């Protein structure tokens, strides 16, 4: 749960999930739509994919025969209670509590 929440804590990643909520898209088109560079988009997509929020698939274009990476949103929903937050907070080390949270380890699988 912490990994997913950490991934969603970034405005770029929120915009990516919002764009993909309308349907799958390939990297170049998504980068144009969001007006961000492909390397930056790839970095954010990797974090979202690692958190289980999006899925990427490599497909061959029929017209040009080149590989294209498509991304789509994985179904997800969170129901958080104060007890869930308290349990998650106990898994944080002192260094994680004050940091950016981008690399927060998810020790609460199944609690989301």
pLDDT digit string (tens) for 6-44? 999 999 999 999 999 999 999 999 999 999 999 999 999
Domains along the sequence of the chain with CATH: 2-96 (1.10.10.10)
Whole-model pTM? 0.74
**Residue range 41-60, pLDDT digits in tens:** 999 999 999 999 999 999 88
Whether 34 and 15 have beta carbons less than 8 Å apart is answered as yes
Q: What is the pLDDT of residue 99?
A: 46
Return the sign of the alpha-carbon dihedral for residues 2, 45, 37, 26. negative
In terms of Cβ atoms closer than 10 Å to its own Cβ (0-12, 13-18, 19+), residue 33 is: middle
Rg (CA), the chain: 16
User: Rounded to whole angstroms, how far apart are CA atoms 65 and 108?
Assistant: 42
């Amino acid at each position: 749960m912490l990994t997913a929440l950490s991934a969603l804590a970034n405005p770029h990643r929120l915009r990516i999930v919002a764009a993909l909520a309308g349907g799958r898209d390939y990297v170049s088109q998504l980068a144009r739509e969001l007006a961000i560079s492909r390397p930056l988009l790839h970095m954010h997509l990797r974090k979202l994919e690692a958190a289980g929020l999006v899925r990427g698939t490599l497909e061959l274009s029929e017209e040009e025969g080149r590989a294209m990476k498509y991304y789509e949103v994985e179904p997800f929903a969170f129901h958080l209670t104060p007890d869930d937050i308290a349990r998650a907070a106990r898994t944080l080390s002192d260094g994680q509590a004050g940091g950016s949270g981008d690399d927060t380890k998810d020790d609460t699988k199944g609690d989301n």
